[in-house]
């Protein structure tokens, strides 16, 4: 425990801690919109698809910089989105199969490239496999800075375009009717999801970064029916899980950040499922009991009078 | 000889996955297959920690339980009002995270390599030999996969009509008294079995590629279920063989190359399938116009 506290006084660690919290916050905020637009698994697909992008960026430049990886992964993510759209539009395969194909195909390609890099003579390649499960502690100052700036930009974009995103999440037809550029906004939202996923890769890893988009949003949905509040709550849940994940993984050796962050988010999800007002399991159970009691109370005299009538008839 | 065993293992994996993948694609549950292949991970690790060996029936059993738990949890959250894809996302990331944490915590003490679980080690298959009374019976993985394939073929063969009806028209199936939920869980159980017996060869993440991609390729080529299963298995085996030689040529991951080969075959089917292919449709239109 002392070790964990002393870690927080390390300035480098403070930066990483801050970066991951910010990352959780921004993914939680974006995740709300992708959840409401029924695109939760899109984040997962984009994250897996980012792996070959990262590998190609590294093979071309030979540098491990988060900025370059952002570009590579972003390009791969856009190709993946396009691929999914193309398959669903031009064949009879449904979206889930298209996502599965693109996800595993790109990931397979990524693994091939990763092994090529490992077997080839690229200097300075160690640690590239950290991208699979994330290792926040391995980030250096400039990485944290890039990540923080990206996350801040994401949050700003969501705040500025809140009204527009709200309307295309709930009623795209109406948005088109009142003259919003719906196609553009949808593409923009997709781009923001790609950026959020890519920004999280170094901290949380390719395989699990999607959970940062999905789980906080679903948890927040249990507490409220208002989008504004949901976005805030989801951001807070995401930030808390990012912080806890970094904190625990940095203090236990050889423990990747991604899974710990996801487990923290899942814990919050479990609490929400149980104790969410109205939707939570406990609230539902209480409500059911109350209704039952009321029903018994109200139907009791009725039943008695029914019995009496029967007796009178006999 | 090693080449033969590797190719045989790959062909068995492709057959197991190819048969089941057809039903996943037809029932629009491709992503549930993905979820199961991720979430059997803690089952594999827990069984490994308990038994200390890599090829036990316990592992199969644990993975089966986790596969069914995944299916059940997804169903439960869906019924409590969460969108289906979000509930898939929440469940499998959580279970997979548990698995990775367990591996990272205990990997030092036991011989369980994180990379082996994720990408498989099909190249070492022929070193893990099963000996019975001093007689060399061939690689253990081949026996395990053969057994799994037998179970899958038996289950699908016995209940072919029921599975077919559930795949195309679950409402009708329920109306004429087929226990649709039972067959749903049976299918999911088979998928988890296939995943766990393949994980050693191709890894937990890439199983999903062999589940979905060959089946989708077959879906583009035919309209008949029986033919589709055959084509799916064929496409799977072809991608195994192509992938193996490509990997030998490039000196890269065999499992990765197998999935890439499957992806390439799918792209070919998408473009040139006689009935559905994009290029073929264009050609037909042009011929009609002229």
Q: Measured between alpha carbons, how far is A201 from A191 in angstroms, rounded to an integer?
A: 15
Contact between B142 and B12 under an 8 Å Cβ cutoff? The reply is yes
Looking at the domain assignment, is residue A236 inside a domain?
Answer: yes
Using a CB-CB cut-off of 8 Å, the residues of chain A touching B251 are: 115-116, 119
What is the model's pLDDT at position B154? 94
CA distance A90 to chain B (A): 7
Q: Calculate the average pLDDT of chain B.
A: 85
Confidence of residue B202 (pLDDT cuts 50, 70, 90): confident
Using a CB-CB cut-off of 8 Å, the residues of chain A touching B86 are: 35, 40, 214, 217-218
For residue A116, give the chain B residue with the closest CA: B252
pLDDT over 60 (residue B183):
yes
Looking at the domain assignment, is residue A312 inside a domain?
Answer: no
DSSP for B55-105, written as a single string: S-HHHHHHHHHHHHHHHHHHHHHHHTT--HHHHHHHHHHHHHHHHHHHHHH
For residue A42, give the chain B residue with the closest CA: B85
Least-confidence region, from A45-59, A267-281, B46-60, B272-286: B46-60
Q: Measured between alpha carbons, how far is B250 from B245 in angstroms, rounded to an integer?
A: 9
Using a CB-CB cut-off of 8 Å, the residues of chain B touching A38 are: 83, 85
Q: What angle do CA B43, B44, B45 make, to 5 degrees?
A: 95
Residue in B30, B83, B209 closest to A38 by CB: B83
Give phi and psi for A173, each to the nearest 5. -60, -45
What is the model's pLDDT at position B112? 59
| Binary contact (A218, B86; C-beta < 8 A) | yes
pLDDT tens-digit profile of A45-68? 888 888 899 889 888 887 777 778
pLDDT over 80 (residue A289):
yes
Confidence of residue A229 (pLDDT cuts 50, 70, 90): very high
Q: Measured between alpha carbons, how far is B113 from B20 in angstroms, rounded to an integer?
A: 28
Query: Could you count the other beta carbons within 10 Å of the beta carbon of residue B180?
Result: 17
What is the model's pLDDT at position B264? 94
Q: Measured between alpha carbons, how far is A87 from B278 in angstroms, rounded to an integer?
A: 10
Q: Measured between alpha carbons, how far is A252 from A7 in angstroms, rounded to an integer?
A: 12
Q: Measured between alpha carbons, how far is A290 from A292 in angstroms, rounded to an integer?
A: 5
Using a CB-CB cut-off of 8 Å, the residues of chain B touching A90 are: 270, 278
Range ranked top by mean pLDDT from A128-132, A297-301, B208-212:
B208-212
Least-confidence region, from A78-87, B2-11, B111-120: B111-120
Contacts 24+ apart (CB under 8 A), A231-235: A231/A28, A231/A29, A231/A32, A231/A158, A231/A162, A234/A28, A234/A29, A234/A31, A234/A32, A235/A24, A235/A25, A235/A26, A235/A28, A235/A29, A235/A155
Confidence of residue B215 (pLDDT cuts 50, 70, 90): very high
Is the ipTM higher than 0.90? The answer is no
% of chain A with per-residue pLDDT over 90: 25
What is the model's pLDDT at position B6? 84
Q: Calculate the average pLDDT of chain A.
A: 85
Looking at the domain assignment, is residue A132 inside a domain?
Answer: yes
pLDDT tens-digit profile of A187-219? 888 888 888 888 888 778 877 888 889 999 999
- DSSP 8-state secondary structure symbol assigned to residue B53: -
Domain that holds residue A69: 2-279
Among B220, B217, B259, B219, CA closest to B242:
B259
pLDDT over 70 (residue A6):
no
Residue in B29, B266, B278 closest to A90 by CB: B278
Looking at the domain assignment, is residue A301 inside a domain?
Answer: no
Q: Measured between alpha carbons, how far is B282 from A180 in angstroms, rounded to an integer?
A: 34
Using a CB-CB cut-off of 8 Å, the residues of chain B touching A92 are: 219-220, 276
Alpha-helical segments (H) within chain A:
2-8, 11-36, 40-61, 66-90, 95-119, 130-133, 141-160, 162-170, 172-177, 182-204, 209-221, 227-251, 257-275, 281-313
Using a CB-CB cut-off of 8 Å, the residues of chain A touching B104 are: 254-256, 259
What is the model's pLDDT at position A233? 94
Q: Measured between alpha carbons, how far is B104 from B115 in angstroms, rounded to an integer?
A: 11
Domain count, chain A: 1
What is the model's pLDDT at position B231? 95
pLDDT tens-digit profile of A9-48? 677 777 888 888 888 999 999 999 999 988 888 888 888 8
What is the model's pLDDT at position A194? 85
pTM of the model: 0.85
CA distance A302 to chain B (A): 34
CA distance B285 to chain A (A): 15
Residue in A92, A260, A281 closest to B101 by CB: A260
Residue in A91, A103, A254 closest to B104 by CB: A254
CA distance A101 to chain B (A): 5
pLDDT over 70 (residue B120):
no
Contacts 24+ apart (CB under 8 A), B130-137: none
CA distance A143 to chain B (A): 24
| Binary contact (A211, B93; C-beta < 8 A) | yes
Contact between A8 and A17 under an 8 Å Cβ cutoff? The reply is yes
| Binary contact (A115, B105; C-beta < 8 A) | no
Q: Measured between alpha carbons, how far is A246 from A257 in angstroms, rounded to an integer?
A: 6
What is the model's pLDDT at position A267? 93
Looking at the domain assignment, is residue A237 inside a domain?
Answer: yes
Looking up residue A197, the CATH number of its domain turns out to be: 1.10.3470.10
Residue B247 CB-half CA count within 13 A: 28
- Domain architecture of chain B: domains with CATH: 2-212 (1.10.3470.10)
Q: Measured between alpha carbons, how far is A50 from A209 in angstroms, rounded to an integer?
A: 11
Least-confidence region, from A154-168, B26-40, B127-141, B163-177: B127-141
Question: B136: which strand partners?
Answer: B131
CA distance B164 to chain A (A): 18
What does the CA dihedral B81, B84, B87, B93 come to, rounded to 10 degrees? -170
Residue in A93, A96, A252 closest to B31 by CB: A96
Contacts of B279 (CB under 8 A, 6+ apart): B271, B272
What is the model's pLDDT at position A278? 81
pLDDT top residue among A165 and B133: A165
Query: Could you count the other beta carbons within 10 Å of the beta carbon of residue A287?
Result: 11
Task: Tell the burial category of B3 from Cβ atoms under 10 Å away from its Cβ (0-12, 13-18, 19+).
Answer: exposed
Least-confidence region, from A3-7, A204-208, B59-63, B189-193: A3-7
What is the pLDDT averaged over residues A118-131? Answer: 68
Among A141, A237, A150, A240, CA closest to A201:
A150
Looking at the domain assignment, is residue A240 inside a domain?
Answer: yes
| Binary contact (A218, B81; C-beta < 8 A) | no
pLDDT over 80 (residue A114):
yes
Using a CB-CB cut-off of 8 Å, the residues of chain A touching B270 are: 87, 90-91
pLDDT top residue among B98 and A6: B98
Looking at the domain assignment, is residue A227 inside a domain?
Answer: yes
Number of H helices, E strands in chain B: 14, 2
Q: Measured between alpha carbons, how far is A38 from B217 in angstroms, rounded to an integer?
A: 26
User: What are the tokens at A71?
Assistant: 């570009």
Looking at the domain assignment, is residue A297 inside a domain?
Answer: no
Q: Count interface pairs A-B at CB distance under 8 A.
A: 193
């Amino acid at each position: 425990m002392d070790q964990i506290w002393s870690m927080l006084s390390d300035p480098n660690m403070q930066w990483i801690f801050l970066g991951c919290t910010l990352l959780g916050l921004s993914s939680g905020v974006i995740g709300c919109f992708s959840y409401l637009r029924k695109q939760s698994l899109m984040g997962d697909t984009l994250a897996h698809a980012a792996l070959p992008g990262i590998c190609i960026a590294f093979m071309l430049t030979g540098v491990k910089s988060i900025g370059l990886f952002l570009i590579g992964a972003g390009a791969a993510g856009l190709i993946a989105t396009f691929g999914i759209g193309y398959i669903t539009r031009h064949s009879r395969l449904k979206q889930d199969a298209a996502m599965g194909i693109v996800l595993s195909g790109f990931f397979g390609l990524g693994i091939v490239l990763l092994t090529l890099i490992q077997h080839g003579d690229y200097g300075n390649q160690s640690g590239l496999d950290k991208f699979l499960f994330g290792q926040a502690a391995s980030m250096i100052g400039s990485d944290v800075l890039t990540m923080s700036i990206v996350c801040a930009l994401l949050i700003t974009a969501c705040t500025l375009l809140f009204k527009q995103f709200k309307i295309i999440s709930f009623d795209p037809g109406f948005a088109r009717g009142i003259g919003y550029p719906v196609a553009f906004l949808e593409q923009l939202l997709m781009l923001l999801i790609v950026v959020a996923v890519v920004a999280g890769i170094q901290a949380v890893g390719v395989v699990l970064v999607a959970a940062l988009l999905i789980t906080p949003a679903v948890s927040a949905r249990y507490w409220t029916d208002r989008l504004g509040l949901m976005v805030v709550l989801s951001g807070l849940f995401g930030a808390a899980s990012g912080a806890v994940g970094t904190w625990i993984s940095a203090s236990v050796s050889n423990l990747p950040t991604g899974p710990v962050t996801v487990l923290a988010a899942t814990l919050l999800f479990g609490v929400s499922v149980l104790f969410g007002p109205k939707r939570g399991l406990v609230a539902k159970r209480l409500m059911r009991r109350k209704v039952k009691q009321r029903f018994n109370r109200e139907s009791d005299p009725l039943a008695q009078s029914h019995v009496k009538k029967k007796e009178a008839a006999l | 000889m090693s080449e033969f065993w590797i190719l045989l293992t790959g062909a068995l994996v492709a057959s197991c996955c190819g048969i089941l993948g057809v039903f996943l694609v037809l029932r629009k549950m491709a992503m549930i297959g993905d979820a199961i292949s991720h979430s059997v991970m803690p089952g594999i690790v827990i069984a490994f920690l308990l038994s200390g060996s890599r090829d036990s029936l316990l592992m199969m059993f644990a993975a089966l339980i986790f596969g069914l738990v995944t299916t059940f949890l997804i169903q439960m959250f869906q019924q409590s009002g969460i969108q289906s894809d979000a509930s898939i996302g929440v469940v499998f990331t959580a279970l997979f995270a548990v698995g990775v944490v367990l591996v990272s915590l205990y990997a030092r003490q036991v011989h369980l390599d994180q990379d082996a679980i994720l990408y498989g080690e099909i190249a070492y298959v022929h070193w893990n030999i099963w000996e019975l009374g001093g007689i060399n019976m061939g690689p253990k993985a081949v026996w395990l996969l053969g057994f799994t394939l037998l179970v899958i073929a038996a289950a699908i063969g016995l209940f072919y009509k029921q599975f077919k009806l559930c795949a195309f028209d679950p409402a009708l199936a329920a109306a004429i008294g087929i226990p649709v939920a039972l067959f749903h869980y049976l299918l999911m159980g088979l998928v988890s079995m296939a995943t766990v017996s393949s994980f050693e060869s191709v890894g937990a993440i890439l199983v999903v590629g062999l589940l979905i991609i060959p089946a989708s390729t077959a879906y583009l080529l035919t309209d008949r279920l029986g033919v589709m299963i055959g084509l799916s298995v064929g496409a799977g085996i072809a991608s195994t063989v192509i992938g193996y030689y490509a990997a030998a040529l490039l000196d890269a991951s065999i499992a990765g190359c197998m999935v890439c080969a499957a992806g390439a075959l799918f792209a070919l089917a998408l473009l040139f399938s006689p009935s559905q292919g994009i290029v073929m449709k264009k050609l037909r239109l042009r011929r009609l116009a002229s």
